[in-house]
A = this chain, B = another copy of it.
Amino acid sequence: MTPTLQIIREAHARIMPHIHRTPVLSSSILNAQVGAELIFKCENFQKVGAFKARGACNAVMSLTDEQARRGVVTHSSGNHGAALAWAARLRGIKATVVVPDNAPAPKKRAIAAYGADIVFCAPNVVAREAAVAALIEKYGYFLIHPFDNDQVIAGQGTATLELLEKRPDLDMVISPLGGGGLLSGTSIAAKGIKPSIKVFGAEPRGADDGYRSFTTGVRVTEQTPETICDGLRTTLSERTFNNIRANVDGIGVASEENVIKAMRLMWELLKIIVESSCSPPLGAILEGNIDVKGKRVGIILTGGNVDLDKLPWQS
């Protein structure tokens, strides 16, 4: 069932004992530079270093005992996999994660550290889904999809509840767009609380299926992503596309250059570690593709799991 504001509030109550209520940060220098007030919701400080802890926790804690006993499985480039491993351990059940073999090393290590089994696959959607299907067929695991799952979407929306509780005066919220789980939850929560608020997604130009789907009204189901944003390479599902069409006001895209520039600006001015996959919202603002002039703008910073030996401005 498509999540509502009420369902997102119930998810929040369910996961609150387990997650961090993350802080928001701002930079007066950055605000002066873009001519707006940017309020960053720091999910890089969340459990497992990413907002994905919210959705995975809500989904795992919503399982019936019978479902939980089967163990859970997912495919993930990293953060959802670590989040599912963490949530499964909280509940005391087994987790298996299918990981594309080009996922960043620290993300692979995190999945293993939280005690999940890892199965590697080729880095594309077809290979991921085939590997998951084979595991379900063989072992009977319960699938917790990284974004095409209503409990996961409701969990991701809880970050926006906290953001708007802290800053009810926001004019706009922007979140990165990959498979669309976060943007679905963000937009349902934001419009539910404040119908006048504007909600935007942002993605790298090298994986702009969301932008193309949104502007043409026809869902793009295949792409060959070319972006360093490893968390944003997936395409929308029917479910997330419908949520986004119903609730989102626009999608902004950013070049790789502006993604990297935005990432570095946040490191320098906010003094925080954020992933490249966090950076399209600020990147799209810098590129002039989302107009924020004079507005109060919430931005969901999705995660901080970075390979510190391979920084994008040094390659």
Q: Specify which of B272, B308, B311 is in contact with A264 (CB 8 Å cutoff).
A: B308
Residue A304 CB within 8 A of the other chain: yes
For this complex, into which size category does the number of interface residues on chain A fall? 20 to 34
Contacts of A45 in B (CB 8 A): 25, 270-271
A110 nearest CB neighbor, chain B only? B29
Contacts of A66 in B (CB 8 A): none
Contacts A23-B23, A25-B45, A273-B273 given; does A308 touch B267 at CB 8 Å: yes
* Min C-beta distance of A302 to chain B, whole Å: 12
Q: How many copies does the complex hold?
A: 2
Q: Within the assembled complex, what's the spacing in Å between the Cα atoms of A305 and B147? A: 37
Residue A309 CB within 8 A of the other chain: yes
Do A308 and B304 have beta carbons less than 8 Å apart? Answer: no
Residue A140 CB within 8 A of the other chain: no
Q: Within the assembled complex, what's the spacing in Å between the Cα atoms of A309 and B23? A: 28
Contacts of A313 in B (CB 8 A): 308-309
* A260-277 to B contact mask, C-beta < 8 Å, 1/0: 000010011011111000
* Min C-beta distance of A309 to chain B, whole Å: 7
Contacts of A308 in B (CB 8 A): 264, 267-268, 311, 313
Residue A283 CB within 8 A of the other chain: no
Q: Within the assembled complex, what's the spacing in Å between the Cα atoms of A61 and B149? A: 56
Residue A64 CB within 8 A of the other chain: no
Contacts of A49 in B (CB 8 A): 271
Residue A123 CB within 8 A of the other chain: no
Q: Within the assembled complex, what's the spacing in Å between the Cα atoms of A45 and B266? A: 12
Which chain A residues (8-67) contact chain B, with CB distance < 8 Å?
23, 25, 44-45, 49
Contacts of A304 in B (CB 8 A): 271
Q: Specify which of B106, B273, B311, B314 is in contact with A272 (CB 8 Å cutoff).
A: B273
* A279-315 to B contact mask, C-beta < 8 Å, 1/0: 0000000000000000000000000100011010110
Which of A's residues lie within 8 Å of B, judged by CB?
Answer: 23, 25, 44-45, 49, 106, 264, 267-268, 270-274, 304, 308-309, 311, 313-314
Pairs A–B under 8 Å by Cβ, sample size 16: A25-B45, A45-B270, A45-B271, A264-B308, A267-B308, A268-B273, A268-B308, A271-B272, A271-B273, A272-B272, A272-B273, A273-B273, A308-B313, A309-B313, A309-B314, A314-B314
